[in-house]
Amino acid sequence: MTTKKLQVATVGGGCFWCTEAVFQEIKGVEKVVSGYSGGNVPGKPTYREVCSGLTGHAEVVQVTFDANVISYEDILVIFMTTHDPTTLNRQGADRGTQYRSVIYYHDDTQKKTANTVINELSKYYEDPIVTEVSEVQTFYEAEQEHQDYYRNNQQQGYCSFVITPKLVKLRKLHADKLKSA
């Protein structure tokens, strides 16, 4: 039996409910936690404070994954192809710096991989990729009602109209990476 090689990726691609739902379906992903990072105010922020756009934080997820099952590069490719990395501070109707596309790297290898993935994928987008690549700062776990949001609220309008289509796209583009595949 192979020992797990757990690693952490921290990414933000708009609303964390969407990004969380995507990664919960990926083979090798052990845990996905919604939260906030990248801000400039001391102390743990609240959802309301982050939504104000005044904290500098982005809505992000921390993805704990087994690198023996899925690579960090694959995690980033899935991330970059399940949101629009070409829109600055916006995903769909969600607007503000808290919805920016961002990869927070945990070490120099992740930084190099992030830049490589962005460069490789840029040829597939008509507009330039604006995804920020920055060193991870403090990660603050979001309030409990934001964890497992899609699983707990699938009938809610935002879930039906925004998250479900992202999951359809995920299943089409990355069928071989799904837990159910």
Q: Could you list the active site residues?
A: 15
Spatial neighbors of 161 by CB under 8 A, at least 6 apart, are: none
Give the pairing of strands 101-105 and 132-135: parallel
Instruction: Tell me the CA distances in angstroms from 30 to 62, 73, 170, one per residue in order.
Output: 11, 17, 18
Place of tokens 């809505």: 59
Structural element, H or E, at residue 51: helix 47-51
CB 82 within 8 A of CB 170: yes
Q: Which of 128, 121, 149, 130 is nearest to 61 (CA)?
A: 149
- Expressed in angstroms, the distance from the first to the final Cα of the chain is 21
How many of the other CB atoms lie within 10 Å of CB of 25?
Answer: 18
Phi, psi of 103 (to 5 degrees): -115, 120
